[in-house]
Amino acid sequence: MSVKQEKRLNKAISETGYCSRRAADKLIEEGRVKVNGDAVGLGVKVSAEDKITVDNVLITKEVEDVYLLFNKPIGIVCTTDITKKQNIISYINYPERIFPIGRLDKPSEGLIFMTNNGDIVNKILRAGNRHEKEYVVRVNKKITQTFLSKMSNGVPILDTVTQKCKVTRIDNYTFNIVLTQGLNRQIRRMCNYLGYEVQKLKRIRIMNIRLGTLKVGAYRAFTNQEFQELTYQLKQSVKTEDASSI
Residues 100 and 115: their CA atoms lie apart, in Å, by 6
Q: Are residues 148 and 120 in the same domain?
A: no
Supply the pLDDT for residue 242: 43
Q: Are residues 221 and 114 in the same domain?
A: yes
Q: Are residues 136 and 197 in the same domain?
A: yes
The residue range of the domain holding 201 is: 132-206
Q: Are 132 and 177 in contact (CB under 8 A)?
A: no
Q: Are residues 120 and 227 in the same domain?
A: yes
For residue 90, the domain's CATH number is 3.30.70.580
- Name, in order, each residue with C-beta under 8 angstroms of 231's C-beta and a sequence gap of 6 or more: none
Asked if residue 243 belongs to a domain, the reply is: no
Which own/partner contact pairs does 45-51 have at CB distance under 8 Å and 24+ positions apart?
A: 45/6, 45/7, 45/8, 45/9, 46/6, 46/7, 46/8, 46/9, 46/12, 47/4, 47/5, 47/6, 47/7, 48/4, 48/5, 49/4, 50/12
Q: Are residues 216 and 109 in the same domain?
A: yes
Residues 127 and 51: their CA atoms lie apart, in Å, by 33
**Which residue in 141, 175, 145, 177 sits closest to 162, CA to CA?**
177
| Per-residue pLDDT tens digits for 9-40 | 988 888 787 887 888 899 999 999 999 999 99
Asked if residue 74 belongs to a domain, the reply is: yes
Residues 74 and 203: their CA atoms lie apart, in Å, by 12
Burial class of 140 by CB neighbour count within 10 A (0 to 12, 13 to 18, 19+): exposed
Question: For the whole model, what pTM was predicted?
Answer: 0.75
Neighbours of 12 (CB within 10 A): 25
Q: Are residues 122 and 217 in the same domain?
A: yes
List residues with catalytic annotation. 105
Q: Are residues 73 and 42 in the same domain?
A: no
Q: Are residues 136 and 33 in the same domain?
A: no
Q: Are residues 118 and 136 in the same domain?
A: no
Residue percentage of the chain with pLDDT more than 70: 91
Sort residue 91 into left (φ over 0), alpha (ψ -120 to 50) or beta: alpha
| Per-residue pLDDT tens digits for 104-120 | 999 999 999 999 887 77
| Per-residue pLDDT tens digits for 56-107 | 988 876 668 899 999 999 999 999 888 999 999 999 999 888 889 888 999 9
Comparing 100-104, 163-167, 174-178, 220-224, the range with the smallest average pLDDT is 100-104
For residue 41, the domain's CATH number is 3.10.290.10
How many structural domains compose the chain?
3
Q: Are residues 41 and 144 in the same domain?
A: no
Q: Are residues 46 and 162 in the same domain?
A: no
